[in-house]
Structure 1
Amino acid sequence: MVKVLFFARLRQQLDTGEIALADFCGSLSALREALCEQYPHWRVYLQRDDIRMALNQELAEPDTLVNAGDEVAFFPPVTGG
């Protein structure tokens, strides 16, 4: 199982903060595409160029591999001041 978290505005846009995927193994970009196929209305939010991804609380690139037991997070860029 892979735990997938959504933060900030994505949480509101997708109407969920967390889901679990059973039997997923592949890259972060493949995971994002699998989510968009399962939830087509999420594509407009998850495929934005500014959406960041983290794997096990570390920023990660789209080609980073995801394994069972991992935690993936999607979030928009954060600014502060």
Structure 2
Amino acid sequence: MITVKFFAVLRERLGLAETQVDADVSTVQELVQVLKQQSERYAKELDRYQLLCAVNQKLLPLTTEVKDGDEVALFPPVTGG
């Protein structure tokens, strides 16, 4: 299982902080595609933003490989002012 955590507006719009995904995926991109296929709500919200991700608390590109037991954090770009 891969733990997927949602942050910022994604957490608010999806109404949950995290989920578990049990799928045969090799990258974060593939993981996101699996989530989109699970629910129209995931598809809508995950397509809304150019996602950033962290794998095991390291900011990495969506092409990063993932494996069972990893923690993936997804969040939209953050800006301040």
Same fold by TM-score greater than 0.5: yes
Alpha-carbon distance, 1:78 to partner: 1.8
Consecutive unaligned residues of structure 1, counting only runs of 5 or more, are: none
Q: Which residue of 1 aligns with 2:55?
A: 55
Q: For the residues of structure 1 that align with 2:66 and 2:48, how far apart are their CA atoms?
A: 20
Q: Which residue of 2 aligns with 1:8?
A: 8
Answer whether contact 1:25 1:68 (CA < 8 A) is retained. Answer: no
Q: Which ranges of 4 or more aligned residues in structure 1 deviate by more than 4 Å? A: none
Q: How many aligned positions are there? A: 81
Q: For the residues of structure 1 that align with 2:73 and 2:16, how far apart are their CA atoms?
A: 12
Q: For the residues of structure 2 that align with 1:62 and 1:56, how far apart are their CA atoms?
A: 13
Q: For the residues of structure 2 that align with 1:67 and 1:61, how far apart are their CA atoms?
A: 15
Consecutive unaligned residues of structure 2, counting only runs of 5 or more, are: none
TM-score (norm 2): 0.86
The verdict on how the C-alpha distance between 1:56 and 1:45 changes in structure 2, with shifts beyond 3 A counting, is same
Q: For the residues of structure 1 that align with 2:42 and 2:21, how far apart are their CA atoms?
A: 16
Alpha-carbon distance, 1:49 to partner: 4.5
